[in-house]
Amino acid sequence: MQSALLLFFSLTVLYVVQKVLAYWKATRAIHNFPGRRLLFSPASLLGNFLPKIEYINAGRNQLFVFKHEPFEKVGWDIHSAISLFPSIRTAIVLADAQAIKEVTSSRARFPKPVHHYRSLTFFGRNIVASEGAEWKKYRKISAPAFSDRNNALVWEESIKTVQGMFMDVWGDRDVISVDHCVEITLPIALFIIGAAGFGRSISWKADDIKPAGYTMTFKEALHTVTTNVFIKLAVPRWAMGLTETFRQTDIAYDELHRYMADMIHERQSAEKVERHDLFSQLLEANDNNLDMTALTESELIGNIYIFLVAGHETTAHTLCFTFAMLALHPDEQEKLYEHIKSVLVDGADPTYEQMPLLTYSNAVFYETLRMFPPVTGIPKMAAEDTTLTTTNVLGETTTVAIPKGTDVTLNVPGLHYNPRYWEDPHTFNPSRFLKDWPRDAFIPFSAGARACIGRKFFETEGIAILTMLVSHYKITVKGDPKFAGETFEQRKERVLACRAGLTVTPLHVPLTFTRR
């Protein structure tokens, strides 16, 4: 018994000594640059579960919750983070616009760590989970699909989808209240990605047909896939039959895959017809690729799936936050409404050609993206021993050592709330985007060569939906007797509460839409 205890004690001491030596080596490698020293890695299971505990854990959704605060504590717009468990991890976290620009412009020095994205390849290899020559191939074939013709289709389908909601769902009611705004924005985004992404018009009415061999309509499969993506990512294959929700998710993924495969075969064998939806244009670009790098069916499906997931949730959540901010700031909503009226003649619906004129719609959308960036942390890694330079509020500079293999995180909220670039960053002020603004300090779509390929698709859809809704309805926070005595700050905190997900996810945004 004593021998066993001695062995256990010896192994424990050896383990602790190894950890201490590894920690000492890690801090020395970065010249002990200031920052966080944590027991648990923010990327670990415990790190995502535990709240913020000094020296123990950074806290859930920590990049969005703390924004620029960690940088203010160290006095620089770069800080380090070293954690012990489950293994020693060193990270350099950036909220410095010039340092971020250097990282995003230097893909050889700071490549994307694609191993973080393996879970997104279950439909096939794709543009998000790739780097180097493979990524270049996907980018070359995908880029032509995101054309001006497709953007015009996105606008047209966005207007049509909102018109359909007004007529088929809201009808002649003058006041519509929803318990959570995503009840509106998720289906809107779903219908638009169905039409502009796949060329499959989806109605607000339940009139879809299930083809032979399918248990779900295309609409049902698409909705389940986009809603339950986290189940697919987190639950192992063998466990997908354990609950009804898991089973339905598994069926939806299988049937959406078959729908997409059927669409590929149908379009490839059919007579050529000019189509502007994303799926058709991707197939056309692939067919026209003559240098022996055409995508396989698996790669085609993998890439269109990524565009689907990225485009659906990002749009829905950003619009939800946008409507919440306008409800909380009626003066800004009125400015937007008056601007829209000045652009649209006799209350007509906006056209794609008028999009450049809707400057305040764009400003409101951008301000929401600044304050609620869909992705809070953009991962990179150092492929070699290198350095970055940062500046503090006094204009002093310092050089940060970055050893090979170090995680480099672009802290999007840290940058977007950095007072060096944004005056009064915690205030909702869309007009800041109507004058000269710091473009290098605005990265909701990432930056550099790896910036979001679907940015224009997303902006077109968002501005069309925003303009349509505000031109027809006034948005307010839904009344609730439970919160009758709350202050503005309490209401703001309640309505804007969110959690981490694939994107920053609003928890409960109760709104009322009143016909103008």
Does residue 452 contact residue 378 with C-beta atoms inside 8 Å?
A: no
Write down the pLDDT at residue 347: 81
Rg (CA), the chain: 25
Q: Could you tell me whether strands 89-94 and 407-411 are parallel, antiparallel, or unpaired per DSSP bridges?
A: parallel
CA distances from 259 to 219, 308, 460 (A): 11, 14, 27
Write down the pLDDT at residue 290: 61
pLDDT mean values, one per 10 residues, the chain (516 residues): 74 79 88 90 72 81 92 94 87 96 94 82 84 87 86 94 95 95 91 84 75 86 80 83 90 88 81 76 77 78 82 90 98 97 90 96 98 94 95 88 95 97 97 96 93 91 97 95 90 92 88 96
For residue 356, what are its two tokens? Answer: 């450049």
Write down the pLDDT at residue 185: 94
Write down the pLDDT at residue 46: 67
Does residue 138 contact residue 294 with C-beta atoms inside 8 Å?
A: no
Write down the pLDDT at residue 198: 80
Beta bridge partners of 38: 83
Locus of tokens 């983070």: 81
Beta bridge partners of 180: none
Question: DSSP assignment, residue 344?
Answer: S
Distance of alpha carbon 150 from alpha carbon 364, whole angstroms: 24
Which helix H or strand E contains 398, and what residues bound it? strand 397-402
Q: Is 498 annotated as a binding residue?
A: no
Q: What is the pTM of this model?
A: 0.92
Does residue 232 contact residue 253 with C-beta atoms inside 8 Å?
A: yes
How many Cβ atoms are within 10 Å of 196's Cβ, its own excluded? 27
Write down the pLDDT at residue 300: 85
Write down the pLDDT at residue 308: 80
Distance of alpha carbon 136 from alpha carbon 42, whole angstroms: 31
Write down the pLDDT at residue 116: 78
Domains of the chain (ranges, CATH numbers): 17-124+379-416 (no CATH), 150-199+304-375+449-516 (1.10.630.10)
Write down the pLDDT at residue 240: 86
Write down the pLDDT at residue 47: 67
Distance of alpha carbon 143 from alpha carbon 370, whole angstroms: 25
Distance of alpha carbon 372 from alpha carbon 462, whole angstroms: 14
Write down the pLDDT at residue 6: 76
Q: Could you tell me whether strands 175-178 and 386-391 are parallel, antiparallel, or unpaired per DSSP bridges?
A: unpaired
For residue 287, what are its two tokens? Answer: 């067919």
Q: Is 186 helix (H, G, I), strand (E, B) or coil?
A: helix
